Chains A and B, each alone.
Chain A
Amino acid sequence: MEAASIEALLERAEKGNLRALGRLLTLIEHPTPHAIQILERLAKRAGRAQVIGFTGIPGAGKSTLASRVIGALRRRGYRVAVVAIDPSSPFSGGSIMGDRLRMQEHASDPGVFIRSIPTRGVKGGLSTAALAMIEVFDAMGYDKIIVETVGVGQSEVDIINAAHTIIVVTMPGAGDDVQALKAGVMEIGDIYVVNKSDKAEANKTAAYLQFALEREDIGRRESGWKPRLVKTSAVLGMGIDSLVDVIEEHWNFLRESGWSGRKVEARRILMAKMMAESMLSAKVMEAHMESLGYLEEVARTGEGIFRAAEELARRAARKMLE
């Protein structure tokens, strides 16, 4: 794309044109030179929004809950953007992205912008796209950016670490036992939600979680924040205002303690690292395609295959320098 047309697109997006913003998000999804031009332009203005991550097992009610939270945030006057990360089919690489379905009631609200990303195969690709989108929404003046992840796998953990406020969503039954919560999850949450509290066993699950959070080693975050527990029912709309109150409380805490800025820095460092990884892996891919004949030959006997790996890396590095 011509530099001039990118400028025009940026200008229109900045004036609130939704079509232009949608196009920009497509352009920054992959780390091309255009993406870098756009992100350089925008990143300077970002750094004001609260990034709120929702994570937890599939089916816990993250999307339904996020939709309720969007409604409550809108009533409090905030503009809200959503980055919804949905799993792709491992077979065709295609996907049916279902998060939007649960939030679609907000589609015609001009103060809400929802964008879905599938978890594609490419290493780091998912995270890079999500992080870049956060940066764009932030620069475009959205006050709250909700990121929903499927809560499995390393790249999701990375994304969630880029959020200011991490909400771990669980439900009765699934996490009766805190052990049943994925390892590591008890250490990362700023807010734990027992959703589906309209169900019988909710109090039991909440009691287990509360008990765990009282332990000194997992009951305090680096920032000094003590994780909180909230019970909700996303279908009945119960507990939503209490949850949003705690989200706000956490945000005030981060701002007053200076941690909000540090988290933005951490997010940008992570983005830089992931973009670098994507760029290099693209060059490895190119080198691989060019060397197919040679690789096949080496693979036949197995001799020299590890030296071939080194050679690929060297070729990729040369391409990067070109």
Chain B
Amino acid sequence: MSSLQSTEAVGGAVRRFKVLVAKMGLDGHDRGAKVVARALRDAGFEVIYTGLRQTPEQVALAAVQEDVDVIGVSILNGAHIHLMKRLMTKLKDLGADDIPVVLGGTIPVPDLEPLYRLGIREIFLPGTSLAEIIEKVRKLAEEKRSREEAVTGVGGC
């Protein structure tokens, strides 16, 4: 796939990967979320940013309404376990737990394992290169689209 990471052509148009970038709770650190959102846009993704201080319920519903391919959460205030538990539960309730979820921010190493066990697919610690983030997010989006294809016969369509 080209660096324009889009996906299959549909009716002559290109269906680009769609990513939700979200901030939850009282955490006001938005620099990382914005840097990642811009990098994904520049790599050709359609990015929807929720803005600060969202509840996990709002994030899950935004993901469902927009039918995104990947959800990316940014947390730098230490509340990751609590917030991610609620988000994953809500996604399940909505029947949207097939959407891969990734997390970025200041996550202490001992917390990585419990977070992966919640079903989070990738965790990006401070200092991760944007190239690595783009690559891994793209891979998850591609996997999700091909799963849809396998189930339905057409790539998400």
Contact = CB atoms under 8 A, between A and B. Distances in A.
Q: Does B bind A?
A: yes
A284 B40 CA distance: 30
B154 to A, nearest CB: 5
Contacts of A118: 16, 46
Nearest to B149: A1
Interface string A25-36: 111011110110
Interface string A12-33: 0000011100110111011110
B154 A97 contact: no
Contacts of A5: 151-152
Interface of A: 1-2, 5, 17-19, 22-23, 25-27, 29-32, 34-35, 88-89, 91-98, 100-101, 104, 107-108, 113-116, 118, 120, 122, 125, 278-279, 281-286
B57 A108 contact: yes
Contacts of A108: 55, 57-58, 61
B42 A22 contact: no
Contacts of B62: 100, 104, 107, 114
Given A18-B94, A19-B96, A107 B47 contact: no
Interface of B: 4, 6, 9-16, 37-38, 40-51, 54-55, 57-59, 61-62, 64-67, 94-96, 151-154, 156-157
B99 to A, nearest CB: 10
B71 to A, nearest CB: 13
B151 to A, nearest CB: 8
Contacts of B95: 17, 19
A286 to B, nearest CB: 7
Given A34-B154, A93-B4, A100 B50 contact: yes
A120 B38 CA distance: 17
Contacts of A30: 10-11, 13, 15, 157
Contact of B152 (A2, A19, A91, A92): A2
A92 B14 contact: no
A89 to B, nearest CB: 6
A162 B128 CA distance: 46
B67 A1 contact: no
A32 B157 contact: yes
Contacts of B41: 89, 92, 94-96
Nearest to B99: A19
B12 A1 contact: no
Contacts of B9: 285
Given A22-B67, A101-B51, A279 B11 contact: yes
Q: Which 7 A-B pairs have the closest CB atoms?
A: A282-B12, A1-B152, A94-B41, A22-B67, A30-B10, A285-B12, A107-B58
A285 to B, nearest CB: 4
